[in-house]
């Protein structure tokens, strides 16, 4: 049975409609007008135990609203959510025991207490058995390198140190499902790597299901196997990460190191199919649609203009693909 089952989930918000200016605000005060906004529009998916899912979409696409409904923070307008047999919205506290969550910059640690005291409070809250607590603490301290941080007050930690502690706090009670909403925002590369490795390790060891929303697609590339892409409240892709690239990644980047180049490169075709991204005396960078051209086509073409010294081919990454999707180049609605 799936650990997370979402069926026909809808969330509508009432948002106030104000006219501009102070008069508009005063009018609104006495005679408020509301307009309905559909944040999540009839989405369904199911997630198996142990899956690492990247839940992605633009700002305002409905990601956070979905996560809030999954965690029981928000009551759905209609539709069902079941997490490990529990309806989060109805049995919130029971559900809270089996999940963990990092919500962006909002900390679950006690701001002016040493980190270890927050951990102790979490231990009490979740009734974590001594043995498990000690074991986890030792392990997390090692992987996330928390040794020197435990006795420091949270307010004195840097953003990266704080997030490492936050992640540890989230996993202390061996949650079945973990929601990570923007866990790597604003962190440096080393900390990001550290956190990604931690998530993968724990997932492997305990089959913890992880749902990750992030704007850093490197997180998804390295951690997740599955992608759910939401746009304007609707799911537009749900499936394997590699498959996603095959379907939507229509472009290949190719970079040439050349010499004896003297004319500019032109080709009578649309930008969608062939685009010179960068061009200098020694360097040519081209993006092309690999359904229209083969790499050999491009190599032949370039060799007409100059002498090729080196070639570097790169498949399109998630980030480029998503940019195209968001711009409406691939999927129209």
Partner 1 sequence: MIRNIKLYFSFLVASLKRMMEYRVDCIVGMVSQIAFQIIELVFIWIIFQTTDNIADWSFEHLLLLYGVMMLSISVTDLLFDSTYDIGKRLIRKGKFDTILLRPVHPLISVLGESETSTALGYMILSVILIVSMLIKLQVSVTLFLILKILYFGILGGFIIGGIQTIFSITGFWTYKSNEVVWSVFQLHKLAEYPIEIYNKFIRILITIILPFAFASYYPTLDYLGLNESNLIFIVPLIVIVIWIIAINVWNWALKKYRSTGS
Which residues form the interface with partner 1 (CB under 8 A)?
A: 11, 13-14, 65, 68, 71-75, 89, 92-94, 96-97, 99, 101, 103, 106-108, 110-113, 117, 121, 124-127, 153
HEC string for 203-248: HHHHCCEEEEECCCHHHHHHHCCEEEEEECCEEEEEEEHHHHHHHH
Q: Which is nearer to partner 1, 121 or 267 (CB)?
A: 121
Contact (CB, 8 A) for 122 and 113: no
Could you tell me the smallest distance in angstroms from the CB atom of residue 38 to partner 1?
13
Q: Which is nearer to partner 1, 97 or 200 (CB)?
A: 97
Q: Which is nearer to partner 1, 68 or 287 (CB)?
A: 68
Contact (CB, 8 A) for 226 and 240: yes
Could you tell me the smallest distance in angstroms from the CB atom of residue 165 to partner 1?
14
Contact (CB, 8 A) for 265 and 305: yes
Could you tell me the smallest distance in angstroms from the CB atom of residue 305 to partner 1?
56
Q: Which is nearer to partner 1, 211 or 318 (CB)?
A: 211
Could you tell me the smallest distance in angstroms from the CB atom of residue 157 to partner 1?
15
What CA–CA distance (Å, rounded) separates 129 from 224? 30
Could you tell me the smallest distance in angstroms from the CB atom of residue 241 to partner 1?
28
- For the chain, first and last CA: distance in Å? 33
Q: Which is nearer to partner 1, 108 or 234 (CB)?
A: 108
Q: Which is nearer to partner 1, 107 or 194 (CB)?
A: 107
Q: Which is nearer to partner 1, 92 or 323 (CB)?
A: 92
What CA–CA distance (Å, rounded) separates 185 from 182? 6
Q: Which is nearer to partner 1, 177 or 298 (CB)?
A: 177
Cα Rg of the chain (Å, integer): 25
What CA–CA distance (Å, rounded) separates 288 from 273? 5
Could you tell me the smallest distance in angstroms from the CB atom of residue 5 to partner 1?
20
Could you tell me the smallest distance in angstroms from the CB atom of residue 24 to partner 1?
19
Could you tell me the smallest distance in angstroms from the CB atom of residue 106 to partner 1?
5
- 78-83: strand order across its sheet: 34-47, 4-16, 78-83
E runs forming strands in the chain: 4-16, 34-47, 52-56, 78-83, 99-103, 177-181, 209-213, 226-231, 234-240, 251-259, 274-279, 283-289, 307-315
Q: Is 311 exposed, middle or buried (0-12, 13-18, 19+ CB in 10 A)?
A: middle
What CA–CA distance (Å, rounded) separates 234 from 268? 38
Q: Which is nearer to partner 1, 32 or 328 (CB)?
A: 32
Could you tell me the smallest distance in angstroms from the CB atom of residue 6 to partner 1?
17
Contact (CB, 8 A) for 143 and 29: no
Taking the CA atoms of residue 67, residue 71, residue 75 and residue 77 in that order, the dihedral angle to the nearest 10 degrees is: 40
């Amino acid at each position: 049975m799936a650990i997370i089952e979402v069926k026909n989930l809808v969330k509508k918000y009432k948002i106030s409609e104000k006219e501009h200016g102070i008069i508009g605000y005063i009018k609104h005060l006495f005679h408020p007008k509301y307009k309905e906004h559909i944040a999540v529009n009839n989405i369904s998916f199911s997630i198996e135990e142990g899956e690492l899912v990247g839940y992605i979409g633009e700002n305002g696409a409905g990601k956070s609203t979905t996560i809030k409904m999954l965690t029981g923070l928000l009551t759905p307008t209609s539709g069902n959510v079941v997490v490990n047999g529990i309806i989060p919205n109805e049995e919130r506290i029971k559900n809270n025991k089996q999940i963990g969550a990092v919500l962006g910059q909002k900390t679950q640690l006690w701001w002016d207490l040493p980190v270890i005291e927050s951990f102790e409070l979490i231990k009490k809250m979740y009734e974590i058995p001594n043995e498990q607590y000690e074991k986890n603490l030792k392990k997390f301290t090692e992987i996330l390198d928390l040794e020197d941080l435990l006795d420091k007050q949270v307010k004195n930690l840097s953003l990266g140190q704080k997030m490492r502690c936050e992640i540890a706090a989230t996993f202390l009670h061996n949650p079945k499902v973990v929601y990570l909403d923007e866990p790597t925002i604003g962190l440096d590369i080393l900390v990001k790597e550290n956190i990604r490795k931690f998530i993968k390790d724990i997932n492997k060891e305990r089959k913890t299901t992880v749902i990750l929303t992030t704007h850093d697609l490197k997180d998804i590339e390295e951690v997740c196997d599955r992608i759910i892409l939401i746009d304007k409240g609707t799911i537009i892709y749900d499936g394997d990460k590699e498959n996603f690239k095959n379907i939507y990644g229509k472009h290949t980047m190719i970079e040439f190191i050349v010499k004896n180049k003297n004319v500019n490169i032109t080709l009578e075709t649309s930008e969608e199919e062939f685009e010179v991204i960068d061009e200098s005396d020694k360097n040519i960078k081209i993006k092309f649609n690999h359904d229209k051209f083969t790499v050999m086509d491009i190599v032949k073409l370039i060799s007409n203009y100059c002498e090729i010294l080196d070639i570097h081919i790169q498949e399109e990454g998630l980030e480029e693909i998503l940019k195209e999707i968001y711009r409406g180049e691939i999927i129209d609605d």
